[in-house]
Structure 1
Amino acid sequence: MEITMIASRGNQVTSETVQGANLAVQHLSCDICVEECSACKRDHTTEKLDISENNSHAGSSFAHAVINMAGMLIGLGQLSTPYAIENGGWASAFLLIGLGVICAYSAHLLGKCLDKNPKSRSYIDIGQHAFGRKGRAAAATFIYLEIFMALVSYTILLHDNLITVFSGTSLDLSWAKLSTSQMLTVIAVLIALPSLWLRDLSSISFLSVGGILMSVLIFLSVAFTAIFGGVKANHRIPVLNLHKIPHISGLYIFSYAGHIVFPNLYKAMKDPSKFTK
């Protein structure tokens, strides 16, 4: 009898000990969950603060972004598109429209990528999030090559146009061993150089407005000359020249070559969610 009572009491003590251990484990698990939840909330709050802090430095409105983008795209395509249509034919305009749709869709995807990870601020960040270090290196290589080649192209165009605009200008710069056209090109590049260090593109949106007005002025001048100037076309533009399509495709794509600055426009906006609109 006594042995039975001792055994039952031992079993009771053992079960109480096990229950106490289970309660302690559950209590510890609850504490860990609370700590993890608090840490998660802190991280989420910190991320929100970082995003809001980044947006607080942005001062560009949706209108400023549209003006900057329109001024850039109009300036790129206005002078090259007529030449491309003349060589490729009227039917090549459908190629221009198709490439425009593709570029618009890719810009929309770019905005989605930047919205997906608000900490991404460039193609390099997107490449790193997508493919790691190799993606970051590949994106940086292609981006810097494109920027360099675009700057070379713009400098050549600037040099050729300055020769035409200042055809009668002569500068005595024998000490610099530069011709007048080369010196004018250097001066123009130095004038535009400080814009590289601007963090907020809204401060130079007035330049985009000026570019749009100049583009409208060029269009009106050409239209007025064609209508009232007595200028007649000396040849007809063909419907389609298939053998020149590869050549003019580059000109058409160059007309939409604004993707390189889209992340900067996104970063400069007060409300980046409006970028895809």
Structure 2
Amino acid sequence: MEKSEIYEARSVHSDKESIVDLMAERPEQGSNFLAYANVVCVVAGTGTLGLPYALALGGWIGVGILILSLIMSVYTAILLMKCVYYNGKYRLSSYQEVGRHAYGTPGLAAVWFFHTSIVLGAPIMYLILAGTEMKTLIPSADIDVKAWIWISAAIVALPFVTMKTLTEVAVMSVFGALATVVLVVVAVRGSIINMGDVIPGMVHNIIIPANLPTTVASISICFGGNVVYFHVEEAMRYPRSWNRVVAAALGTCAILYLATAIPGYMAYGSAARSPILLNLPKDIFTKIGTIVIIIHVILAAPILLTSFALEFERLTDITVARRGKTMERVWRTVARLLIVAFCGAIACVVPYFDAFLSLLGAMGNCSLIFVMPIVFYFKLIGWRQMKWYELVWCAIIVIIGVVSAVIGSIDAIKVLKFRFETDAARM
């Protein structure tokens, strides 16, 4: 054997050993169950409430789109995490780092833009929902929606500012995941009660071709966990269990989604609204569901905001080593309060949950979940070792992601424009 061949063989062997070392047990980190609950809490979220409306947009084909989105999301989540360990020497710290290693500054900028749109956009959406539902829950109180949004922001700020990392915030995700289950039960119960009621103009469509991109965009946000996967995996005691954990978590979310979407669309058809709570009977169970979703979004928002804050603090060098223990806490507190204030301000300016949900799913999630993991994987690891059917599968995912991102964003922007113009005309 030539010396170069011996060196190459040793290099490959060394890289494999390095990857094993990088993915070795981390005794100080959280369990697989906490990682599973973290993903379920963030991913299941408010997307559950918008699924009957997504089916109203696209028809029963939305059920197939949901299952297809699950399969695509699990696949790209696994590819994305392979990119984290691609060189065998060190673990990449974030989605932005993956983009930079793949395509330099343009890759970093693209990921930063879409990543920021999600980790800030989703909490903004949560604040909109929490403020709206608080107003619905206590209509007699002389407090408008904007004030409730700021109250929600203040509540979210408490754990966000006091808990530094996702390892600390992870405990909250267990309660958030349980809240999602309760919410699904309330939505299913209300849908079954109303099933068979005659709603003027209500129809059940098999497929509405013109709305398919928007439907895909609305459903894609239901699997939008890529923005926190890096920090969730980093906080795992057994990182080699990632594939099983993410598949189990997203599979659990899909079961909750189907349980909400199918009865909801059967009961309300084209009259389904987002969130589905607006359609449900106005009884004590719906009030319980409203309270639960408020609790859920208040628990889920700090997880996403912490993911953004960790990257921001890394970029601005807000560390104990650089600032000292006391000043690090001061700078971190100020930075995180400003982040919450920014989210609260935007939520007050754009208080349209359903349109914001569609725009967020189209613009950010379609790119981050479906397109970029495959594009980055091809660049960092390569496509030549893939089978032909894997390449075809990757091409299908990328095409679906690009078309849904472009057309879905355009449609969502048109809806937002219409809402603003309608509200302006009323004033």
Q: Same fold (TM over 0.5)?
A: yes
Q: 1:264 aligns with which of 213, 228, 231?
A: 231
Q: Is 1:247 matched with 2:214?
A: yes
| Alpha-carbon distance change, 123 to 95 in structure 1, aligned in 2, over 3 angstroms | same
| Alpha-carbon distance change, 82 to 229 in structure 1, aligned in 2, over 3 angstroms | closer
Deviation of 1:220 after TM superposition, in Å, equals 2.2
Greater Cα radius of gyration, structure 1 or 2: 1
Aligned partners of 1:164 and 1:135: how far apart in 2?
43
Q: Match of 1:96?
A: 66
Q: 1:232 aligns with which of 190, 194, 197?
A: 197
Tell me the TM-score normalized by structure 2: 0.46
Q: 1:185 aligns with which of 130, 134, 149?
A: 149
Q: 1:71 aligns with which of 41, 45, 48?
A: 41
Aligned partners of 1:105 and 1:265: how far apart in 2?
17
Kindly report which structure 2 residues correspond to 1:10-89, keeping only aligned pairs within 5 A, or say none.
Answer: 55=26, 59-89=29-59
Q: Is 1:115 matched with 2:85?
A: yes
CA contact (8 A) 2:37 2:174 kept: yes
Deviation of 1:92 after TM superposition, in Å, equals 2.2
Q: Match of 2:98?
A: 126
Aligned partners of 2:217 and 2:191: how far apart in 1?
27
Letter in 1 for 2:138: F
Kindly report which structure 2 residues correspond to 1:131-170, keeping only aligned pairs within 5 A, or say none.
Answer: 131-170=103-142
Deviation of 1:84 after TM superposition, in Å, equals 0.8
Deviation of 1:107 after TM superposition, in Å, equals 0.6
Q: 1:208 aligns with which of 173, 176, 180?
A: 173
Q: Match of 1:7?
A: none
| Alpha-carbon distance change, 55 to 148 in structure 1, aligned in 2, over 3 angstroms | same
CA RMSD of the aligned region, Å?
3.2
| Alpha-carbon distance change, 52 to 99 in structure 1, aligned in 2, over 3 angstroms | closer
Aligned partners of 1:275 and 1:240: how far apart in 2?
36
Letter in 1 for 2:187: V
User: Structure 1 stretch 156-165 or stretch 257-266: which is displaced more?
Assistant: 156-165
Q: Deviation per CA, 1:19-51: give whole Å up to 9, x if none.
A: xxxxxxxxxxxxxxxxxxxxx9xxx9xx89x95
Aligned partners of 1:224 and 1:148: how far apart in 2?
32
Residues matched between the structures, number:
224
Letter in 1 for 2:227: I
- Secondary structure of 1:112's match? helix
Q: Deviation per CA, 1:133-172: give whole Å up to 9, x if none.
A: 443343333322333333433333333222212222225x
Letter in 1 for 2:117: L
CA contact (8 A) 1:115 1:273 kept: no
Deviation of 1:79 after TM superposition, in Å, equals 0.5
Deviation of 1:247 after TM superposition, in Å, equals 2.2
| Alpha-carbon distance change, 90 to 190 in structure 1, aligned in 2, over 3 angstroms | same
Q: Deviation per CA, 1:98-136: give whole Å up to 9, x if none.
A: 122211111111111123354311012212222234433
Aligned partners of 1:161 and 1:60: how far apart in 2?
33
| Alpha-carbon distance change, 233 to 216 in structure 1, aligned in 2, over 3 angstroms | farther
Letter in 2 for 1:208: S
| Alpha-carbon distance change, 243 to 228 in structure 1, aligned in 2, over 3 angstroms | closer
| Alpha-carbon distance change, 233 to 74 in structure 1, aligned in 2, over 3 angstroms | farther
Letter in 2 for 1:254: I
CA contact (8 A) 1:60 1:201 kept: no
Letter in 2 for 1:237: H
Letter in 1 for 2:147: M
For structure 1, which runs of at least 5 residues remain unmatched after alignment?
1-39, 172-179
For structure 2, which runs of at least 5 residues remain unmatched after alignment?
1-10, 245-427
CA contact (8 A) 1:226 1:232 kept: no
Aligned partners of 1:203 and 1:233: how far apart in 2?
49
Letter in 2 for 1:222: A
Identity %: 24
Q: Match of 1:276?
A: 243
Aligned partners of 1:85 and 1:216: how far apart in 2?
20
